Chains A and B, each alone.
Chain A
């Protein structure tokens, strides 16, 4: 079946540091890949997505590239801010019966300190 593996947290960085959160996946065919972010007390928000190999999703300074050869979708940001502190979820979706079924990783908590 489909699965997503992402690095365990928590990840603690100083402000302006470089961020990488690793994510690899297992799926048949060509899934779409996502990063969601969850701020404390809130629901998940879509951060970025990529729908085919070599696509790069980007938003708010974050980016991730869909790498089919390594089945990876690592999240990066060049300079993190305190406001980026949240839990980040990698996810994939595969069409099933006309709708998308989303499979999530376990989440990586990021804490950015001033």
Chain B
């Protein structure tokens, strides 16, 4: 059973370009979470999605960031017009359910560098 997969593992973008980060949850998992880790900081919650629905995006910047989890295919975190401050590691996690007792399984992360 493959774990959570994220690609690309490393992404370099120039300021103003778009970044697309992909997350394939574990088989059978329909709940996806995105976290951001800025240098020297802990992981910060960004958004929680179920298939075709955004449940909680309270941690996501209001502008330039969007997330989706379509019926088919991976979850996508999209950052438009990237700036240097977007440089960070972005982690995706998945779980089989959303309740309190469900463990979140993390992917290896995508390290975004904005030049």
Contact = CB atoms under 8 A, between A and B. Distances in A.
Interface of A: 4, 32, 36, 41-46, 49, 89, 93, 95-107
B79 to A, nearest CB: 20
Given A43-B3, A44-B91, A97-B56, A104 B107 contact: no
Contacts of A104: 35, 42-44
The A interface, classified by DSSP as helix, strand, loop or mixed, is: strand
Interface of B: 3-4, 6, 31, 33, 35, 40-45, 48, 55-56, 91, 93, 98-100, 102-104, 106-109
B98 A105 contact: no
A100 B99 CA distance: 6
A87 B5 CA distance: 20
Contacts of A105: 42
